[in-house]
A and B are shown apart, each in its own frame.
Chain A
Amino acid sequence: MTGLLLAEFTTTEKWVVNSFWGVIAVVMVYAALRVVTTKNVVHAALWLVVVLAGVAVQFLFLGAEFVAVTQILVYIGAVIVLFLFGVMLTRASMGDDETVADEKRAMAAVVGVLLLAVMAFALVDSFDDVEITADGPQSVTTVSDSIFSQYIVPFEAVSVLLLAALIGAIVVARQD
């Protein structure tokens, strides 16, 4: 009984879980469309919160509790907050902002489609017809064991990368 949502769902019929998954996916797609179509930068950030919260719930359905909570802590609690903070410090106009770059839409659409194609290919290529079953929540011990043994080199590389970015930001921001 150490599940967040799964305690209830593992015993339930599969179609119930699948339909919940579908409802959340539809909401996410709608919110994602609003992120790129709205003219108000603050509204775009708030729609992005809906998308990211949806991702967190989808992770819960897959039994990846730790990843779901990290998604909330890092993306909603930090990235979006900093994003909103930056927008409000610089251009917090109420109502629609007509200067939102329209001429870059075509390029953005191309990049978006390309990304979608790459990710869809990667997913289909690696999972094809593997059925993903959630056998209860994934334990944190498993996650930490694989990070600190099998994936220790990428983990340390990412840490060094982030540290370098941090120092770079300080160097750029310092006046003296």
Chain B
Amino acid sequence: MIAAITDPWWFQTTLRVVGGLAAVLLVAGTLVYLHLFKMVSFMQSRLGPMEAGPFGSLQLLAEVGKFIQKEDIFPRKADRFVFAAAPFVVLMSTFLLVVVVPGGPDAWFVDSEIGIYLGMAVSSVSVIGILMAGWGSASKYSLLGGLRATGQLIAYELPLILAVLGVVIQAETMNMQGIVLAQAEGEIFGWGAIGNPYILTQGVAFLVFLVAMQAELTQTPFDMPIAESELVTGYMTEYSGMRFLLFFIGEFATAGVFSAIAAVLFLGGWYIPGIDPTAGIMNVLGPIVLISKVVVLTFIVFWVRFTFPRFREDQLQKLAWKVLIPIALANIVVTGVLKVVF
């Protein structure tokens, strides 16, 4: 993760792979336990898992063990290679997405000049995996689920990217570290004690980003692709065992990574007000700050998920094209004008 320039490239690469695995798997595990097992249980007046480990904290390992033992079933008419590869394409997109998120002044995977643009590009690759899963299963539920997912992901990718543009205009950079530093060094009408988290000036973009993120993650109320009353579980219907687990990890890890990106763009990322953002200690404190922001944002995602009923397909498309995209475009125009004026 912390890659000094003098280290040989294979050492840097190994560090990045290990760091990426930790960032994806640990975050996904934490979110499943905290939100899916415990928070939802409390919302529904029950305890959730209590048997495995203290307060059921080892339940996740038990679940993973169960999934690994299950038989890897292929439908008879399935396109074997496409069917088998689809979960890996989805998960690959998540792994590529996590590399753009910075955790501290030196704790980054890739400090690219076009960081957020790279993130938006690789996040769109997961659609291919979903289409592969839907078609490769040779089942009409899967195919319909895959098509619904694609229509939804294409529609909500636009407001997502347009919402990011407002932040990029204000920070004058696409580099994720640059966006964090711009917020750390920003001032609110000359008062710079807490910097200037862009949720204050880009609040509209933040709301658009959150709604679009909910849809990109196909969480309720945007879970038309896996609508269980109509499509069983959509493109995941035919999957079992390890491959289903991969989709599951992908879903929660992507929720974590998208929340981390939202935290970096709008909530100030890893910086702590009052501490010099280049101090070495920030490499330790930064990831902790970032993860706590991720937990808060994913809390909102799952809170909404377990509160609202599902949208109808036409309402879903209408919300994207007729509400979110115009708002995001107006936000870009206003931000651009204000940027030039001030």
11 A-B pairs besides A42-B79, A85-B131 with CB distance below 8 A are: A1-B5, A4-B118, A49-B128, A65-B114, A66-B114, A72-B122, A84-B131, A85-B151, A88-B143, A92-B143, A94-B138
Q: Which residue of B lies closest to A12 (CB)?
A: B9
CB distance from B26 to the nearest CB of A (A): 25
- The A interface is mostly helix, strand or loop, or mixed, namely helix
For the complex, what is the distance from the CA of A154 to the CA of B335, rounded to whole Å?
27
Q: Is A159 an interface residue (CB 8 A)?
A: no
Instruction: State whether B138 touches A77 (Cβ < 8 A).
Output: no
Q: Is A24 an interface residue (CB 8 A)?
A: no
**Neighbour of A81 across the interface among B5, B143, B154, B175, CB < 8 A:** B154
Q: Is A2 an interface residue (CB 8 A)?
A: yes
Instruction: Enumerate 24 A-B pairs (CB-CB under 8 Å) in ascending A order.
Output: A1-B111, A2-B111, A65-B113, A69-B114, A70-B121, A72-B121, A72-B124, A73-B117, A73-B121, A76-B124, A76-B128, A77-B124, A77-B125, A81-B124, A81-B128, A81-B150, A84-B150, A85-B131, A85-B147, A85-B151, A88-B131, A88-B146, A88-B147, A139-B113
Q: Is A134 an interface residue (CB 8 A)?
A: no
What mask results when residues 133 to 173 of chain A are scored 1 for a CB within 8 Å of chain B, else 0? 00001011000000000000000000000000000000000
For the complex, what is the distance from the CA of A84 to the CA of B153, rounded to whole Å?
14
Q: Is B59 an interface residue (CB 8 A)?
A: no
For the complex, what is the distance from the CA of A146 to the CA of B78, rounded to whole Å?
49
Question: Hey, which bits of chain B sit against chain A, CB under 8 A?
Answer: 5, 9, 12-13, 77-79, 82, 110-114, 117-118, 120-122, 124-125, 127-128, 131-132, 134-135, 138, 143, 146-147, 150-151, 154, 157, 174-175
CB contacts (< 8 Å) of B138 on chain A: these are: 94
Instruction: State whether B154 touches A140 (Cβ < 8 A).
Output: no
**Neighbour of A94 across the interface among B79, B118, B134, CB < 8 A:** B79
Q: Which of A46, A78, A89 has the most CB of B within 10 A?
A: A46
- The B interface is mostly helix, strand or loop, or mixed, namely helix
Instruction: State whether A85 touches B150 (Cβ < 8 A).
Output: yes
CB distance from A97 to the nearest CB of B (A): 13
- Chain A interface bracket (under 10, 10 to 19, 20 to 34, 35 or more): 20 to 34
CB contacts (< 8 Å) of B111 on chain A: these are: 1-2
CB contacts (< 8 Å) of A7 on chain B: these are: 5
Q: Is A80 an interface residue (CB 8 A)?
A: yes
Q: Which residue of A lies closest to B132 (CB)?
A: A46
